[in-house]
């Protein structure tokens, strides 16, 4: 049975806040395909290890900031859209944007395109 869009989005959010890389890798293995891709303004990430390294960089760049998904997500025909923010420890927004995702046949993420506000 394919993963439901809401489960994929929930696990995606969990991967962003998981500090332990081994635990995060386990989450990523469950929600991303082997050939997954994240498309950013500055380039493309290929595979779960690059996705994991990117999450680690975000956590280092923003220190104790917390990424979170905001509002409801939209899903249809294997595609997703969801908004996100990164909050600093005081609760101020330091980055925000919207992601568009594509699910594989089994419901896992095949591709996510990231748009940051201001890019």
**Mean per-residue pLDDT for 90-102?**
93
| Cβ partners under 8 Å of residue 119, min gap 6 | 41, 97
pTM, whole model, 2 decimals? Answer: 0.89
Could you give the number of structural domains in the chain?
1
| Cβ partners under 8 Å of residue 39, min gap 6 | 45, 111, 112, 113, 114
Task: Give the domain CATH number at 36.
Answer: 3.10.450.50
**Mean per-residue pLDDT for 97-104?**
96
- CA–CA gap between residue 105 and residue 97 (Å, rounded): 26
Q: Tens of pLDDT along 47-88?
A: 999 999 999 988 888 777 888 889 878 999 999 999 999 888
**Mean per-residue pLDDT for 40-52?**
96
72: left (phi over 0), alpha (psi -120 to 50) or beta: beta
Domain hosting residue 100, numbered range: 5-116
Residue whose tokens read 């956590």: 59
Report helix, strand or coil for 113: strand
What single string gives the DSSP state of each residue in 79-111?
A: EEEEEEEEE-TTS-EEEEEEEEEEE-TTSSEEE
Report helix, strand or coil for 33: strand
Report helix, strand or coil for 19: coil
């Amino acid at each position: 049975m394919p993963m439901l869009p809401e489960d994929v989005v929930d696990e995606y959010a969990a991967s962003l806040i998981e500090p332990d890389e081994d635990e995060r890798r386990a989450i990523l293995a469950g929600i991303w395909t082997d050939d997954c891709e994240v498309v950013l303004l500055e380039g493309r990430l290929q595979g779960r290890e690059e996705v994991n390294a990117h999450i680690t960089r975000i956590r280092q760049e923003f220190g104790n900031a917390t990424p979170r998904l905001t509002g409801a997500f939209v899903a249809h025909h294997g595609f997703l859209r969801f908004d996100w923010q990164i909050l600093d420890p005081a609760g101020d927004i330091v980055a925000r944007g919207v992601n568009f995702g594509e699910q594989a046949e089994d419901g896992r993420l095949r591709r996510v395109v990231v748009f940051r506000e201001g890019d």
